[in-house]
């Protein structure tokens, strides 16, 4: 049963610390997405990659967030320095292309980040 895995599942950190979240996409999927979910904003797309190349990171605060895919089995999302307003659940999704800008996306279980 192929699944997207994310680590850690929970992270509590102090303001100013670096946070790294990891995602292993489903083998064979060539697109990876990072989302953030909060009660106030709902689901927000932060960035996405196709064939490991970043296609769009316009949803990400560039001064503190960075997303990379060092290889096809690993995607990372880093926050440095973290702030309390970054507290949210961060989801990774991997997917297959259905058509132009359309994807069949499968979500991981999420990383719940709390910044105090």
User: Total number of residues binding other proteins (CB under 8 A)?
Assistant: 25
Q: Is 103 helix (H, G, I), strand (E, B) or coil?
A: strand
Which of 109, 110, 93 is CA-nearest to residue 30? 93
Report the residue from 33, 65, 67, 82 that binds other proteins according to the rule CB under 8 A: 33
Site for other proteins in 40-59 (CB under 8 A): 42-43, 45, 48, 55-56, 58-59
Site for other proteins in 67-106 (CB under 8 A): 91, 93, 98-106
Q: Rounded to whole angstroms, how far apart are CA atoms 34 and 6?
A: 11
Residue spans of beta strands (DSSP E) within the chain = 5-7, 10-13, 19-24, 31-38, 42-50, 53-56, 65-71, 74-79, 88-99, 102-107, 111-115
Give whichever of 78 and 112 is closer to other proteins, judged by the CB atom: 112
**Residue 62 interacts with other proteins (CB under 8 A)?**
no
Residues near other proteins (CB under 8 A) are 4, 33, 42-43, 45, 48, 55-56, 58-59, 91, 93, 98-110
């Amino acid at each position: 049963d192929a699944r997207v895995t994310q680590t850690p599942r929970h992270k509590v950190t102090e303001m100013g610390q670096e946070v790294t979240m990891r995602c292993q996409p489903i083998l064979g999927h060539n697109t990876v997405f990072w989302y953030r979910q909060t009660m106030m904003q709902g689901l927000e797309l932060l960035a996405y990659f196709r064939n490991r190349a970043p296609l769009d990171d316009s949803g990400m605060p560039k001064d503190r967030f960075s997303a990379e895919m060092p290889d096809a089995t690993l995607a990372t999302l880093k926050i440095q320095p973290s702030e309390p307003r970054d507290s949210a659940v961060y989801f990774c999704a991997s997917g297959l292309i259905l058509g132009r800008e359309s994807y069949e996306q499968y979500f991981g279980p999420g990383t719940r980040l709390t910044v105090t």
